[in-house]
A and B are shown apart, each in its own frame.
Chain A
Amino acid sequence: MNNFALLLPEILVAVVGFGVLTVDFFLPASKKHLLAYLAVLGLGGVLAFTLLYMWGDVDSLYGGMIRVDGYALFFKAFFIILGGFLILSSVDYVRRHLSHAGEYYGIIVFTVVAMMMMASAAELLTAYIALELLSFGLYVLVAYDRYNPKSNEAGVKYIILGAMSSAILLYGISQVYGLLGTTSFNEIATALSSLDTVSPGLLVGIAMIVAGLAFKVAAVPFHMWAPDAYEGAPTPITAHLAVGSKAAAFALMLRLFSEALMPIVQEWQILLLVLAAMTMTVGNLLALVQTNVKRLLAYSSIGHVGYLLMGVAALAGINERGDVDVSVSHLVSNGIMFHLVAYGVTNLAAFLSISTLYREVGREDVSGLAGAARRSPLVAMIFAVSLFSLAGLPIFAGFTSKFYLFNAVAAQGLLWVVGLAIFMSLVSLYYYLRLVRQMYMEEPTDNEPIRVAPVTLVTLMVLLGGMVVIGVYPAPLMEAIQHASDAIFGTGLVAQTAIGP
């Protein structure tokens, strides 16, 4: 029996999206910014509803294609909040630089639906459809600044490379289906644990799925689109690319690797480790030479993807007898989710600061930050804090989450890659400090104070609070994350998949 009430959060968010599009018809151009608040209110309502009614539900729909559990709930709540913040950080930007506010907010809400589905998907094709819904929303949004050639270029690059990666992903899915006869995560796990040897065809299929997902999170060597898309997209959408779409892809990956592919961990672990090591190295090293802030943050976020991929690679270990060892998996998945949240909050603050500090679109040079601390002390401070947080310095979120994630991966016995990651954090500090230096030690070229819209100010303050609170008092967040990890590791599922080949 399908209980459609389980899909209510997604349905309600979609309703909010259509609501925004409809109200758009009846609002005069000068009042379009009200749509943003309408969308945020709607999302807030859905969030409250979701937390109240879905708490503790564990069930699945459509014969296991969609799963509703603590893990999905955690990410759904996270994505709804994220969507709200993305909309709030767009208000001022959209008013200044973009037209067609209604569709803009509407599409953001639809991408939230897609992200929520990705966290719930327990089957490859459902996951694929959700991923495409997200990608299509983003293709449009990246090119939304349509009189800006850079935005158009970014959109074209993103859609062409995105379509290609989707093709690769689909091909991988078909390969897995052809060889195992199923696309459901649980059944894949059962089929894999009964295999004696893993056939090359299956490995090719899995490698292609990994490649497709690696494109979505911009892992090296599938990262080429990211800097251009980040630079050209409207800044709030850059934040969406850096935070929302990545978090959703990791939500999917985490479930895929822990629920479906766990039995053959020895086959994919080294693949992901190499991918992670390359990603963090290339991302951080290339960031050193960037002169455009958005490109710089694009490479820095590639670096962060490296850390997260390292976490995914460390999801399970292999013990002396060659069996799958899941004794620290829980810790690792906690670490990944923790870092995702911390990284998300921090990057939202960073991009919102950028879109406030630069008045002209398309010329976000590092030198343009000169003297920002004198022109707008508060925003400069928040930007500096988010940079310190990205670099992993206390008392901010980035330090605590990085420490936790790195500790988890080290506990899995992968100290060498953790060493590399820690060293890359040092490298990253250099380019973050370059930005801080511009803001605090250079004299401004014009002394005019920067005007900050009230809604931006409030959003920034909330994000600053988030960075500090997660940094010094992470226990409540960690409890929610534990709950989510329990859903994918704490049940009988682990025992079943842990048998191993």
Chain B
Amino acid sequence: MANFDTWVLFLLIVLPLAGAVVLMAVPGHRKEEIRWTAAVIAAVTMALSFYVFAAYDHGAGGFQFERTWGWLSIPGPWALGDRGIELSLGIDGISAPMIMLTGIVMFTGVLISRSISDRPKEFFVLYFMLLSGVFGVFSSLDLFFLFFFYELSVLPMYLLVGVWGSSSDFKTFIRTKDYAAMKLMLYLVAGSVLIWIALLAIFTEAGLGTFNIPALADAELSRNFQLIFFPFLMVGFGILAGLWPFHTWSPDGHVAAPTAVSMVHAGVLMKLGAYGIIRVGLFLLPEGAEEWMPVLLGLGTVNVLYGAISAMGQRDLKYVIGYSSVSHMGFVLMGIATLNPLGMSGAVLQMFSHGVMTALFFAVVGIIYDRTHTRDIGVLRGLAKHMGWTASLFVIAGLASLGMPGMSGFVAELLVFMGLFQTYPILGALGVIGAAITAVYMLRLLSTVFFGESDDEHWAKLLDRRFEKAPDGWRIERASSLVLVGFILLVGLFPFPFIRVIDSGVTDILAAMARSL
């Protein structure tokens, strides 16, 4: 197996790309075959991602499954000679759960995309490109390739949102999908502008002639340099993580995107940002990070409160979820900013938990939207009577999101709060208030949209005739949602297998930071 282990990360990146190539060869009108091929590719990829997580040795810690291929030389007077750009892969305890999360969301996203009937081939090709990029970011140990895959995961978003997305039209509030797609793309690339500048600065300043992250972590970068360039990384990656005040692309983007893309987007893509702050920011610029963390903490707190309050005022069901994502990513940022083991483990677990939970949210909203063609919470009423399954799924996601014990959100947020109260009790209290507001809007949604008064006449008007046979979700949609529910409960009831892996990664990073300070 040792040999397989050195290939498995490469396979994870290449499999979706290879899948995209295979799909290109299938004729576009054979939609059923396309869906099945996509499902098989996603299933295999998910299995690989489970294997990676299970086989990660948390006792040993550090980077595992490592493998390096030389890629491009960079001649020059460098300290380490011409190592150049290398495709260097490896994962630690922080990336391992993220890889598994990506696998889960990818597979469920493919299953839920059954309802895509316009050009499904192109859809899946772009979708797989996106996921290949995501796997790449989580497993790259070379800055160039981290950036390469980061951009690769941004590129397909424009078309995915713009072509297959949906517009919001509330007469007084119009957001077309073109608008959302363009906004999303420009925000994300603006983030990568900052990241790119910081990467080049780090490469030049270190003067090692390599982009290898562990090697660069050993380079001694001056304090001033770190202070100047850490904000570039913090804001650059922060934009993708929904950092306030650069979050506005994210609700618009989530809402306009088609279901599967919203799932990936909120579930996985936003985590790339938080992951980048940890992997590149904390790892390479520890002194800068130390100084800037109070700022990140403050912004994270604003995220939590602002996201929660905005969510209360939304009429579009998907916007509610979109703003709740902004709010929940705030917990991740706050957890990272504590720089203590509890808070950071909580942040990483929250990344996983929020990924699964939001994916479930968007899957459910997608099912509802397919059948009723509206997401207006003034129009949707008492869905539980007609869509029992869907309502229960939403209840589970909602309870996880407001931090009900026994669900994943509880464990993660608890850890974050424990970390926060160790160092910043006041901000911790504000965070708890944010979590409480979540309960307000979630319970309000449940009480009207799902358990409100309902009459059959209203429902008959709402339901699209084509779905008369399956008003409550196809079997395949229910099954894929159940996978997500399973993980919410698993993390909530047995968090230990997750926490011990995450902890090994967090301990390593904090130890490395302590060494260089």
Contact = CB atoms under 8 A, between A and B. Distances in A.
B186 interface: yes
A394 B148 contact: yes
Contacts of B73: 475, 478, 482
A177 interface: no
Interface in B152-203: 152, 154-155, 158-159, 162-163, 177-178, 181-182, 185-186, 189-190, 193, 196-197, 200-201, 203
Interface in A421-470: 422-423, 425-426, 429-430, 433, 436-437, 440-441
Contacts of B203: 407, 410-411
A394 B162 contact: no
B371 to A, nearest CB: 25
Given A327-B77, A426-B190, A482-B75, A399 B204 contact: no
Contacts of A418: 197, 200
Nearest to B201: A415
Interface string B131-157: 000000000000010011101101100
B201 A330 contact: no
A426 B186 contact: yes
13 contacts: A327-B76, A330-B75, A394-B152, A399-B148, A403-B148, A404-B72, A406-B200, A425-B193, A426-B193, A430-B182, A437-B178, A474-B72, A482-B73
A334 interface: yes
Nearest to A403: B144
Contacts of B185: 429, 433
Contacts of B149: 394
A343 interface: no
Interface string B86-127: 000000000000000000000000000000000000100000
A395 interface: yes
A474 B162 CA distance: 32
Contact of A475 (B72, B152, B159): B72
A468 to B, nearest CB: 11
A478 B72 contact: yes
A341 interface: no
Q: Which of B147, B158, B190 has the most C-beta atoms of chain A within 10 angstroms of its own C-beta?
A: B158
B204 A410 contact: yes
B433 interface: no
B76 A328 contact: yes
A394 B71 contact: no
A410 B200 contact: yes
A393 interface: yes
A38 B73 CA distance: 39
Nearest to B191: A426
B204 A411 contact: yes
Interface residues of A, number: 39
Contact of A441 (B155, B163, B200): B163
B74 interface: yes
Contacts, number: 95
B42 to A, nearest CB: 20
Contacts of A411: 76, 200, 203-204
B79 to A, nearest CB: 13
A327 B163 CA distance: 48
A331 interface: yes
A141 to B, nearest CB: 35
Interface string A327-339: 1101100100000
A331 B204 contact: no
Nearest to A328: B76
A488 to B, nearest CB: 13
Given A407-B200, A415-B197, A330 B155 contact: no
A230 interface: no
Interface of B: 28, 70-77, 122, 144, 147-149, 151-152, 154-155, 158-159, 162-163, 177-178, 181-182, 185-186, 189-190, 193, 196-197, 200-201, 203-204
A343 B147 CA distance: 21
B151 A394 contact: yes
B76 A395 contact: no
A413 interface: yes
A99 B243 CA distance: 60
Interface in A379-401: 384, 388, 393-395, 399-400
A395 B70 CA distance: 17
B151 A399 contact: yes
Given A400-B72, A410-B200, A410-B204, 11 more contacts: A328-B76, A330-B76, A331-B74, A331-B75, A377-B122, A394-B149, A411-B76, A419-B197, A422-B193, A433-B182, A441-B177
A394 B162 CA distance: 19
Contacts of B76: 327-328, 330-331, 411
Nearest to A489: B75
Contacts of A437: 162, 178, 181-182
Nearest to B77: A327
Contacts of A403: 144, 147-148, 196
Given A330-B75, A410-B204, A415-B201, A441 B162 contact: yes
Contacts of A330: 75-76
Contacts of B148: 394-395, 399, 403
Nearest to A392: B151
A388 B129 CA distance: 14
Nearest to A425: B193
B410 to A, nearest CB: 39
Q: Which of A327, A394, A418 has the most C-beta atoms of chain B within 10 angstroms of its own C-beta?
A: A394
A425 B190 CA distance: 10
Given A426-B189, A433-B182, A407 B162 contact: no
B186 A429 contact: yes
B152 A395 contact: yes
A64 to B, nearest CB: 27
Q: Which of A404, A433, A436, A475 has the most C-beta atoms of chain B within 10 angstroms of its own C-beta?
A: A433
A429 B72 contact: no
A328 B204 CA distance: 11
B204 A413 contact: yes
Given A410-B200, A410-B201, A423 B72 contact: no
Contacts of B152: 393-395
B88 to A, nearest CB: 15
Contacts of B74: 331, 404, 407
7 closest cross-chain pairs (CB), A and B: A410-B200, A327-B77, A394-B152, A393-B155, A330-B75, A328-B76, A394-B148
A470 to B, nearest CB: 11
A429 B162 CA distance: 15
A118 to B, nearest CB: 25
A436 B158 contact: yes
